[in-house]
Structure 1
Amino acid sequence: MTGDEDFRIGHVGDNFQVYGTNNIGKIGTQNNAPQDPQAALQELIDLVQVLRGRVREDDRAVLDESLDTLTEDHVERGALRRALGSISGVAQLIGEVGLPVAEAVRRVLALFGL
């Protein structure tokens, strides 16, 4: 770099100011996540299908049963919620590998108002 070159570091990321007391952070959204309930459900189904290949046989059986419920036509809300709870439970038990599935479950629950 020579002395004539202009080198500047540009701003990257959010810029915000916080005033007052008891502030704990900012609330943000993940813009690349599906906002359509059906798209979010399909994303979850796809993630569960990948996850099922990475879990033990007994956990795979839970995921398969839950996938059956998720792919039914006109599934009852309670059955949908129970299936999502089972999927979330398996995802949380296996740790970091299950995090994308657990997040997708939360998104589906929110978008379907469950």
Structure 2
Amino acid sequence: MNQHYGDNIHLHGGTNNTGKVVHHHPPAADPPQLAAALLALAVQLRELQAALAPLNAQVVAESLAVIEAPAPPAQERRRALLAVAGIAATVGAVGAPVAEAVQRVLALLG
């Protein structure tokens, strides 16, 4: 069994080869329009959270942590958005603005 861990570097010719170049790039930031929509959603979620039952408020808090993260994995962000949209739909008119804000964010995410 052949196992390999770490970088695999092959040098073909040359002299004084003394290292490698490694480029580390930070995760891409959200576009300004998406960042603004996420901020507006977070504000609305905090307002809604005060009116929720404890279990739903906990789900909103956990989802907010993902929604507000600098660059969460796309699947985690979508899952968090769908969770808060579901909660917003169950609380009637008070949740309607949150449901609409989630739809705007999802549309921007594509």
Fold-level match, TM-score > 0.5? yes
For 1:54, give the aligned amino acid. Answer: A
For 2:43, give the aligned amino acid. Answer: D
Residue in 2 aligned with 1:9?
none
- Aligned sequence identity (%): 38
CA distance in 1, matches of 2:53, 2:97: 18
Does the 8 Å contact 2:38/2:68 carry over to 1? no
Relative to the length of structure 2, the TM-score reads 0.69
Residues 22-61 of structure 1 correspond to what in structure 2 (within 5 A)?
A: 36-61=33-58
Gaps of 5+ in 2: 1-31
1:81 equivalent in alignment to 2:89: no
Which structure 1 residue ranges, 4+ long, deviate > 4 Å from structure 2?
none
Residue in 2 aligned with 1:91?
88
CA distance in 1, matches of 2:99, 2:52: 14
TM-align CA RMSD: 1.1
Residue in 2 aligned with 1:64?
61
Q: Bigger radius of gyration, 1 or 2?
A: 2
Alpha-carbon shift at residue 94 of structure 1 (Å): 0.6
Gaps of 5+ in 1: 1-34
Relative to the length of structure 1, the TM-score reads 0.67
For 2:93, give the aligned amino acid. Answer: E
Residues 95-110 of structure 1 correspond to what in structure 2 (within 5 A)?
A: 95-110=92-107
Instruction: Give aligned pairs, total.
Output: 79
